[in-house]
Structure 1
Amino acid sequence: MFEEWRHRRAVQRVKPGDGRPLKRFRWWQMLTRALFHLRLMNDDGRRTDYAVDVRHQNQSDGYVKAHLYLDGRHHAESRVPAVFPVPGGTVEVRASNFGLKRCHYVTVEGAEFPLVPDPASAEGRRARLDRSHPALSRWIGFLSVTVLVIGLALLILQLAEQITRDPEGLAQYVGTFVSPIDLSAGGNAVVGLVTVAASTERALRLRYNWLLDGGAG
């Protein structure tokens, strides 16, 4: 019920586009822009090309916005999470702190298909690595998950030590916990940087877990 209400609200946020042309993806935009493509067939057999363009930095109103292009022209826009009605279903776009966690075509029957990233984008380059070097790609994905699990474990240890430090607080019931790992400020900074890198790598593959990737943010 809640998901249906949220879906309707997202559809209601969609605004018509202004018809401007889609700009080509530039290499210096890899950390600030995501561009995905979708090709659909109309009932008359004519092919239509959709593109979803997302600039990760917040706009003037404080929201990240997704822009939908139809055959190279600005067709609609919405702040994320966005749901764009298209022939046969909807295009759903959701963002995280590190990129996109969802950019899928969902049919009226409920089938889901990820959109194809633009070859020049960071997502497109990561997809090309997956196709050309699948073993290396799997190793990188495993390393990202491992880094996030370790980062989450360190965070839990530090939090447990903090909340049991006061002898008149929780410590009087459960005792004082001392973390077996004591990181310096520099060590915490390094852990923060590598966990952000790991979550960013996962976002390039539209992977997201609320506990691992959400905790990193």
Structure 2
Amino acid sequence: MRSRRAARRVKSGDGHALQRFRWWQLLGRALFYLRLGDGDGGHTVYAVDVRHNRTDSSGFANADLYVDGRHHARSRFPAAFPVPGGTIEVKKSAFGLKRCHYVTADGTARQLSPDRVSAEGRRAHLDRAHPALSRGISVFSSIVLVVSLAVLVMQLLEKLTQPAPIAANIGTFTSPVDLPVWLNIAVGAVTALASTERALRLRYNWLLDGGAG
């Protein structure tokens, strides 16, 4: 059923040329590539282009598929583009992409390669050039999201147990963390940055990143 719904979302492309990634598109565009052999010694290059701030006439965001530089198809999210040997799956989160993978018929999945100039490409380059620094950033992002989730849960519990009927039956909960408004705003901003960093690596956890979104 999911496959049929995904197939209905795919529309034919109009053949226009893929635009080169520009540096000013860092915050609003993602571009990934997949190179597949054609069995005769040649290859075909597939490109997935996502404009995060662009929607169609119905207000939906879309992913575009290019084949050898020409527009081949468009789909709303979650997108599933049929290609030789499998499917290119593209899923969006509140902070970027959470999936852009080539999934073969036997279920093997591999992530597409980001354009070198894109934010995802720059993050991948950092990982290759400075692996220790990259791991440190990744760990810090995860810690920020865990702490933010814990603070959010405690604040929600405090609010939920304040009504008199609930307090009379189960008692009240007082959060040990009482942040001023400005610090709550700062925590929210840092959490958004952490989720964005994870999105650049196409890392997604429904509890951590979903809660942050």
Query: TM-score of the superposition, structure 1-length normalised?
Result: 0.96
Instruction: Write the distance in 1 (CA, Å) between the matches of 2:87 and 2:42.
Output: 18
Aligned counterpart in structure 2 of residue 101 of structure 1, from 72, 90, 98: 98
Identity level (%): 64
Letter in 2 for 1:106: V
Aligned structure 1 segments of 4 or more residues deviating by more than 6 angstroms: none
CA distance in 2, matches of 1:56, 1:96: 10
Q: Do the aligned residues in 2 keep the contact of 1:15 with 1:78 (CA within 8 Å)?
A: yes
Secondary structure of the residue aligned to 1:101 is: strand
State the one-letter code of the partner of 1:156.
Answer: V
Output the CA distance in 1 between the equivalents of 2:4 and 2:208: 29
Aligned AA for 2:167? A
* Aligned 1:110-149 pairs, distance under 5 A: 110-149=107-146
Residue 207 of structure 1 aligns with an amino acid whose one-letter code is: R
CA distance in 1, matches of 2:7, 2:96: 21
Q: 1:171 maps to what in 2?
A: 167
- 1:73 is matched with 70
Q: Any unmatched runs of 5+ in structure 1?
A: none
- Please say if residues 167 and 176 of structure 1, whose CA atoms lie closer than 8 Å, have aligned partners that are also in contact: no
Deviations 1:119-150 (A, max 9, x none): 00000000000000000000000000000000
Query: How many angstroms does 1:174 deviate by?
Result: 1.4
Q: Structure 2 regions of 5+ residues with no counterpart? A: none
In the alignment, what sits opposite 1:204?
200
What is the aligned-residue RMSD (CA, Å)?
Answer: 0.9
Q: Which amino acid aligns with 1:90?
A: T
The amino acid of 1:22's aligned partner reads L
Aligned residues between the structures? 212
SS of equivalent residue, structure 1 residue 66:
strand
**TM-score (ref. length: structure 2):** 0.97
Aligned counterpart, 1:189: 185
CA contact (8 A) 1:94 1:101 kept: yes
